[in-house]
Every structure is written in structure tokens, then in C-alpha cells.
Amino acid sequence: MAEIALQNVSKSFGAVEVIKDISLKVEQGEFVVFLGPSGSGKSTLLRMIAGLESIDRGKLLIGGRECQDLAPGQRDVAMVFQNYALYPHMTVRENMAFGLRNVGMNEKDIAERVADAGRILEMDALLDRRPSQLSGGQRQRVAIGRAIVKEPAAFLFDEPLSNLDAALRVRTRVELAQLHQRIAATMIYVTHDQTEAMTLADRIVILNDCRIEQIGTPMEVYTYPASRFVAGFVGSPG
């Protein structure tokens, strides 16, 4: 069973249809990248999975359960935001614990999950700092930590590296790949950067004008682009 399945989903903003009959499956443990130019519908599609945008038509299944009508908190996914969205007045530990307190988890379990996330992200020593005392890369790791503590069925990333400088972007990309290996989690990752897609993805979903142009492994889309658009976008030869 696929971890996440979209079946013929569509969405309009007002009179404009922006997601047009999209179907796709993401398998358990898979790293899937939504790749496409600005305005191609990547964020909208991800937000529909997260529950931050409604689904007008079609079905969303997460772990086999129909979720298209559930509130974001009832879906077993965790979104990592681009702008970190950390609480400045809270420590790293409190930032990670916050979402778990909200759903009523007991303090002992919360402490264990936060400690685990701290170890996974190699942030043990930073748990009592506030966001203002962290570097950009460390803040991004806290944002990922807030998702890790929820132990979700899938992690959803929307251009998580775009606020980082070039060197840090490469380093964080490598860390993300290692994290995916270590926790074997299902991940959906939105980017317009083909290098990120090529290096991170098990499979790439190429979006253009809010439709899927092609789904395939990085090798497949590079070697056998399904259209001129794909060839241009992933930089295929010839």
C-alpha cells in the first residue's frame, strides 16, 4: 500500500483551476521531489496533502486512510516550513515540544521524543538556546526537529533550503539525505532547483502549468525526458 496516494485531485482558486486532475503514489520510505518552475503548482499540491488547502475533487489517502476532508492536525503528516516559523521566545526544546503538548502528550514522552530528535539532528547541546542564538542552518534543523518529534507517516518540505546561502544549502542538503537514510521516513520535497531534485530524489514528479509532465527516477527523467519542457528543465543533453 502506498503511504500517500492522490487520486484525480483538482483544485481551483476562484474561477481558476490550478491543480488539474493529478494522481500519484508515494511509497513508504520514498523520497519524492515535486520539481517545477515558479507557479507550476508545487506548493499548492503539497499544501493540499498537508490540509492547508482544500481538495475540491478527488481523494487523498495517507496510510490507506481517506484524508481529504480531515483537518491538518488529523492527518499523519508534518510540514517543514521554509521560513522556519519558530517561536522566538521559546527555547529549541520548547519549540520542538510545543506541537506535542498541543495534542496532549504526557511530559515524559515529550521529553523522550525531543531528546531523540536532538540526537538525530546532532543538536543535543543546543536544546536550551533560543532561535536568536542559532545560525540559519541550525534554525532549519529545529524546524525539521519539530516535524521529527511527531513521528509522522510523511514529512513535507516546501523549498526548505531557499533561505540559506550557497554553502549552507549544500551542507543542509547532504544532512537531509542522511536524515532520510537514518530514519527511513517518507518524504515529499518541493523545489524549483534541479540539482536538489537530482541529488535527493528516489523519484521526481515534474510539474508544469499545474499538471504532471513526468514521473520517474532522476536517471529516467534525465535520460528519457517525456517532453521538450522536461528536457529543458532538467538540462538533458541534446
Point out which residues bind ligand ADP (CB under 6 A).
13, 18, 36, 38-44, 210
Amino acid, single-letter form, for residue 151: E
Residue 38 binding: pick among Mg ion, ligand ADP, none (C-beta 5-8 Å cut-off by kind): ligand ADP
Alpha-carbon span 169 to 146, nearest angstrom: 20
Residue 44 binding: pick among Mg ion, ligand ADP, none (C-beta 5-8 Å cut-off by kind): ligand ADP
Least distance (Å) between residue 158 CB and Mg ion: 6
- Given strand 57-62, what is the order of strands in its sheet? 16-26, 4-13, 57-62, 65-66
Amino acid, single-letter form, for residue 126: L
Least distance (Å) between residue 39 CB and ligand ADP: 4
Among 43, 82, 91, 162, binds Mg ion (CB under 5 A): 43
Across-strand partners of 26? 4
E strands, 100-194, are 154-158, 186-191
Closer residue to ligand ADP (CB): 110 or 196: 196
Closer residue to ligand ADP (CB): 148 or 157: 157
Closer residue to Mg ion (CB): 63 or 72: 72
With CB under 5 A as the contact rule, which of the stretches 28-36, 43-51, 176-184, 206-214 interacts with Mg ion? 43-51
**Nearest to 207, CA basis, from 223, 192, 185, 225:** 192
Hey, what's the cell of 224? 528519457
Across-strand partners of 187? 31, 155
Least distance (Å) between residue 18 CB and Mg ion: 12
